[in-house]
Amino acid sequence: MTDPTSLGYPLGYHLGISSILWGIFIVFTVVLGLGLFANARKSDLINVKEVLRAKSSFYIGTSTGFLLIQAGVLFPDNFLQFYYLGLFSTMLPATFYFYYWEKYLTVIKRIPTISMGSSCILTSFAIILSLLIPELPLVIWDLMTLAIFSLLSLSFVLYLYLVYLFSKNTKGGHFTTVGAIWLTGITIGLIANFVEHPPGVIIVPKFILLYINPIMYMCSFLLAFLGITKLLSQISSYYAQTQKCAVHRGKIEKGNPIHYCSSCGIVYCEKCFSNVIAKDGCWNCRKGVEFEKETDKIEIKGIDLKKKQQ
């Protein structure tokens, strides 16, 4: 029989008010996830659509993961399976979210995506191991959980840095209030995550773990929701402010020609414009591209891809 307390969970963890609070958090996160998906459908920009959809999947996956983890406490004989399956449900969509974030925005050599993907793979291994050899010493499970959450924390710390860079380079080119809200949400989530999952150790009073932590998670997800929905629409401004080409995402060197879409404001370097955009149209809004089925001809129409000299 697996002892749930070995992973930081006190006995009776999900009884009474604590159970109600976690239930509210799970439903609340699903609602926010559906809200992100609705915002994705409303957007005309492909980049924004994909990032918001990935974020929506992450929110819904997180709610599913927490539901499994909470349910696992009620089935102590299978707690490890519930626990790691819950982590996997959270980390898999998070990996895709980071992938889309880095695909369109600032890249740190894919480290956030690789780190989150690695934690996802390690969690998959833990699920298999918990099914085959559930009676391994608890210290092994604690060390494995520590490794998983170390990779997860690294991903989110780097994500914190990416959000800072993004918010700093939108609109007026300075750090915005919305960016601060977004970063605050992520920071609260990191703190709550650390309090919730210290392998084999309870480092805060039981009251905080039982009642305060679900409220912290709700605040974290709400603030992050407000940040991404209000600031991500400035994705075009980000490219313009940083003078990064939206195709290869590298910086356009000073003095080189810049092509920009008058419809959405995304910028392109000379080479990518000539080889890609002149044929496909704007990668971000797709406006001005008309495919003629009879001749498979592509026309640039209704979009003014202008060229300016710095």
The predicted-structure confidence for 275-310, as pLDDT tens digits, reads as follows: 888 777 887 777 643 333 333 333 444 445 555 544
- Between residues 108 and 200, the one the model is more confident about: 108
> Which of 21-30, 147-156, 199-208 is the least confident region?
199-208
pLDDT tens, position by position, 110-157: 889 999 999 999 999 999 998 998 888 878 888 888 899 889 989 999
What is the model's pLDDT at position 242? Answer: 76
Range 224-240 average pLDDT: 83
Query: Which is more confidently placed, 266 or 306?
Result: 266
Model pLDDT, residue 220: 96
pLDDT at site 182: 92
Residue 172 predicted with pLDDT over 80: no
Where exactly are the structural domains of the chain? 4-238, 243-308
pLDDT value of residue 54: 94
The band of 1, judged by pLDDT with boundaries at 50, 70 and 90, is very low
Tens of pLDDT along 75-108? 777 888 888 999 999 999 999 999 988 877 766 7
User: Which range, of 116-120, 230-234, 236-240, 271-275, averages the lowest pLDDT?
Assistant: 236-240
Instruction: Please tell me the distance from the alpha carbon of residue 169 to that of residue 182, in angstroms, as a whole number.
Output: 14
65 band by pLDDT with thresholds 50, 70 and 90: very high
